[in-house]
Amino acid sequence: MSTHPKSYNPFDDDEDDDFKPVKWNDRNDDYDDPAERQRREATDQQRYLQQEVLRRSQATVDSTHRSLGLIYESEHIGVEMSEELTRQGEALKRSERMVDKMEQDLKTSQKHINSIKSVFGGFVNYFKAKPPETKPEQNGASDYQASNRLKEAMTVSKEQESKYQESHPNLRKLNNSDCSSEGASSNSSVPADNYPKNQYLRSYHQKVDSNLDEMSSGLGRLKNLALGLQSEIESQDEILGRLTTKVDTLDINIKSTDKKVRQL
C-alpha cells in the first residue's frame, strides 16, 4: 500500500520534479509480488491524475485565449461600425444644409415671382433698398462631429488593434503555449500565495487570471463602445427628425411656387 498519509496532496509538492507535461506511458509490467504491483498501480494512477490536471489546465488557458480573441474581434467590428456611423452622420448633416439652401433659394424665387406679377410692385422693389441676404440655417458647425462619448470609446478601443492582429486566426495567433512561470503576467490581482506551489500549475493559474483580467477590461471597453453608439444614434435621430420636417415643408413650398408660376 502507499506510504503517504491521507492528508498528502501530490499536486502541492513544490519539490516534485515528476509533475511535468510528459506523455503517459501505459505499462503492462507483470509483478509476482502483489504489494509491488499495488504500489506500481498507485504510482501510475497518481501520474495519470497529474497529467489530467495539466491537460484540463491547458484547456482552460486555451479557452480564455479564444475568449480574448473574440473580445478583440468584437472591438474591431465596433470601431468599424462607429466610423461608418460617423460617416452617415456627416452625410445627414450635408443633406440638411442642402435642404436649408434649397429652402432659401425657393424663398428668393417666390419674391421674384411676386415682383413679376405686378409691374408696380416691380418698380417699387427696384427702388427699394435691397434687403440683407440671409444665409441658410447651418444647425451646428460645418464639419460634423460625432458624440464625445463615441469618440472617446473609439480612441480607447483603437489602441487594442495590435492585440486584435495577434489574436486573429488568419493573421497571427496568441502564444498559447507560453505558460512558464517566467512568462506569467504579474498584473494579476490574485495574491501569489493563493496559487498552487507546483510551478506548472502556478503558471497555468496565473495565465488564466491574467486573461480573465484582460477579458474584464475588454468587456468594459465594449460597453463604452455600445453606449457611445447609442448616444450617436440618438443624435442622428434628432437630425433625421429635423430633416424630415424640412423636406415636408420644402415640398409644400415647391408645389405652391409651381402653382404661382402656372398662373403667370
CB contact at 8 A, 205 and 61: no
| Interval 54-102: pLDDT, tens | 889 899 999 998 998 899 889 999 999 999 999 999 999 999 999 999 9
Alpha helices by DSSP H, listed for the chain, are 34-117, 119-127, 148-158, 161-167, 199-262
pLDDT at residue number 32: 58
Tell the burial category of 106 from Cβ atoms under 10 Å away from its Cβ (0-12, 13-18, 19+).
middle
| Interval 176-232: pLDDT, tens | 444 443 444 445 555 666 666 778 788 888 889 989 999 999 999 999 999 999 999
Please give the grid coordinates belonging to residue 38.
499495488
Residue 157 has pLDDT above 80, yes or no: yes
pLDDT at residue number 173: 46
Least confident of 23-27, 59-63, 207-211, 239-243: 23-27
The closest alpha carbon to 111, from 97, 121, 99, 102, belongs to: 121
What number of other Cβ atoms are within 10 A of residue 223's Cβ? 11
